[in-house]
Chains A and B, each alone.
Chain A
Amino acid sequence: MDAVLSNLDVFVRGFTTTVTLTLAAVVGALVLGTVIAAMRVSPVPPLRWAGATYVQLVRNTPLTVVFFLVVFGLPEVDITLSFFVSAVLALSLYTAAFVAEAVRSGVSSVATGQAEASRAVGMTFGQTLRLVVLPQAFANIVPPLASVFIALLKNTSIASAFFVFEGVQSMNQLINANGDAVLAILAAAAVAYLGLALLASALFGLLERAVTVSR
């Protein structure tokens, strides 16, 4: 127990990175995922095809493989990023596929009357999507998005194998240095992750309530 308390700063350093990784990747995945969902419902066939292919490829690939390709493959196309950015990129690319699916299902759950009315008023595809459909779609999919982003929080642990000093790596460092307090350190890390997951759940719960009231 002492090992944990006297090394709290190490944990804090690690889990702060976990949080920043998550937040950055949430933004990245949201943006990219929405774009891909838009591509999938667009009138341009190659865009639809590209979006669908992206989702199929990424969903069926383990996140670890995505990490390998981003961290070790991008330098081979002369794109060298910092390890943190690589991790954010890998996480965003992976999670975007799931966000895209969620958004797509959200779009199809919006009453068709909405889209019909937009067309009747003369809006273009882009305007319909941006001003009418997507806002309602997002309101519909807060619960599945919550799952996706909590999974993202947990997936940041994979960055530990790719040079990012986040929660699991901080835990490993402490275990290496304090071989006799392994169980306590593991428990502390578990509590930290559970705490963060609960916090995220609570936040999304609030978000869902806010969104439902306004509908």
Chain B
Amino acid sequence: MRLTSLALTAALALTLTACGGGDDEVAAPSVDKAAEFAAGSRMAEIKTAGKLTVGTKFDQPLFGLKGLSGKPEGFDVEIAKIIGAKLGVEADKIEFVESVSKNREPFLQQKRVDMVIATYTINDKRDKVVDFAGPYFQAGQDILVAKGNPAGITGPESLKGKRTCSVSGSTPAETMVTKYGLVEGGDLKTVDVYTKCRDALKNGQFDAVTTDNVILAGYVDAAPDDFELIGKPFTEEPYGIGIPEGQEDFCDFINTTLTESVEDGSYEKAFKATAGTVIETVPTLPAPRGCDK
């Protein structure tokens, strides 16, 4: 009897946690109020100010998606909270600002945000105007098609002449133009958010949507009867943490924080609660690219 009711309670508890799933707020990482930083360093500035402004996406499932409450949720958000905690900033004192793809550099250049964690691929062109800490995640560009792959897409080379959608100013869009010869306004059309691409793909108005595989995996996960992933990433997209130029101390600090977060398990916890609902294996933290740029 007791065993049955015990088993029943366990089953009930498991079901409840399963239902909670991705909507649960991750328990915020413990804030390090005692952290001390060298006077004049960027970290000391932030700690004294007691608040952090982070640019993130508001429309990427799993990484930065504005929930019903109006606050963004996702892996990028959790990383920001981890860094904020190490700076003594509470999770609710972090201000998240929407940074669509093409605003990420301007926001950093104008110092409108302290850092940008927004599925922000590190590349040389961007590196000229901003600095990158991390990377904290390695993605790859992939292709999303309608279920059943009616257009018979096999890879990026087969996209020429077909109808592809991506986001204006993003790395994936640029790659399609520079490396695979698509023409913007012709076989490649761009728009401001990926969800418009996705909806249009569902309506048959496009043959393919291309961007980083994690974002696409999120769409497949939400609607597995409508979409499928080609599943062969053809680029390497290291997601970095963008910071304004000239803050090398901040860059070093962030890299250290990332390493520590893997050690104390907060990285895994953050991933499992967000992108981990779709991607089975917790990735290893990529090696930092170095802050001496």
Q: Say whether A and B bind each other.
A: yes
B20 within 8 A of A: no
Taking CB atoms, residues of chain A closer than 8 Å to B196 are 72, 163
Kindly list chain A residues whose C-beta atoms are within 8 Å of the C-beta of B59.
none
Whole-angstrom distance between the alpha carbons of A86 and B192 in the complex? 18
| Contact A14–B185 (Cβ < 8 Å) | yes
Nearest A residue to B200 via CB reads: A163
Q: At the interface, yes or no: A75 with Cβ under 8 Å from chain B?
A: yes
Q: B168, A72: Cβ atoms under 8 Å?
A: no
B168→A176 contact, CB < 8 A:
yes
Q: How far is the CA of A71 from the CA of B197 in the complex (A)?
A: 12
Interface residues in B194-239 by Cβ distance below 8 A to A read 196, 199-200, 203-205
A22 → B minimal CB distance (Å): 17
Residues of chain B contacted by A169 (CB below 8 angstroms): 168, 185, 190
Shortest Cβ distance from A161 into chain B, in angstroms? Answer: 6
Known: A80-B205, A176-B102. A13 touches B169 (CB 8 A): no
Given known contacts A14-B185, A173-B184, A75 and B191 CB-to-CB distance under 8 angstroms? no
Is B129 engaged at the interface, CB distance under 8 Å to the other chain? yes
Within 8 Å by CB of B199, from A14, A72, A173, A176, lies: A72
In-complex Cβ contact of B169 among A71, A83, A162, A176 (8 A): A176
CB < 8 Å: which of B189, B190, B204 contacts A80? B204
The answer to whether A179 touches B203, judged by C-beta atoms less than 8 angstroms apart, is: no
Interface residues in A, total, Cβ within 8 A: 19
Is B191 in contact with A163, judged by CB distance below 8 angstroms?
yes
B200–A172 contact, CB under 8 A? Answer: no
User: Which residues 143-202 of B have a CB within 8 angstroms of A?
Assistant: 165, 168-169, 184-186, 189-192, 196, 199-200
With A and B bound together, what is the CA distance between A161 and B197 in angstroms?
A: 11
Contact A83 B184 (CB under 8 A): no
Q: Which of chain B's residues have a CB closer than 8 A to the CB of A14? A: 185
Contacts of A13 in B (CB 8 A): 185
The answer on a CB contact under 8 Å between B203 and A80 is yes
Which residue of B has the minimal Cβ distance to A166? B185
How would residues 157 to 168 of chain A score, 1 for a CB under 8 Å from any chain B CB and 0 otherwise? Answer: 000011101000
- Asked if B204 and A162 make an inter-chain contact with CB atoms under 8 angstroms apart, the answer reads no
Q: Which residues of A contact B185 (CB under 8 A)?
A: 13-14, 17, 165, 169-170, 173
With a CB–CB cut-off of 8 A, which chain B residues contact A161?
191-192
Residues on A with beta carbons closer than 8 Å to the beta carbon of B205: 75, 80, 82-83, 163
Interface status of B105 (Cβ within 8 A of chain A): yes
CB atoms of B203 and A165 under 8 A apart:
no
Measured between C-beta atoms, what is the minimum distance from B127 to chain A in Å? 13
Closest B residue to A14 by beta carbon equals: B185
Per-residue CB contact flags for chain B residues 107-122 toward chain A (1 = under 8 Å, else 0) read 0000000000000000
Cα A14 to Cα B185 in complex, Å, equals 8
Residues on A with beta carbons closer than 8 Å to the beta carbon of B203: 72, 75, 80
**What are 28 A-B contacts defined by CB distance under 8 Å?**
A72-B199, A72-B200, A75-B203, A80-B203, A80-B204, A80-B205, A82-B205, A83-B205, A161-B192, A162-B191, A163-B165, A163-B191, A163-B196, A163-B200, A163-B205, A165-B185, A165-B186, A165-B189, A169-B168, A169-B185, A169-B190, A170-B185, A172-B168, A173-B185, A173-B190, A176-B102, A179-B105, A179-B129
- Beyond known contacts A72-B199, A72-B203, A163-B191: 13 more, CB 8 A cutoff: A13-B185, A14-B185, A72-B196, A80-B204, A161-B191, A162-B191, A163-B165, A163-B196, A163-B200, A165-B185, A169-B190, A170-B185, A173-B184
Those 8 A-B pairs whose CB atoms lie nearest each other, nearest first: A165-B185, A75-B203, A176-B169, A163-B189, A173-B184, A80-B204, A72-B199, A163-B191
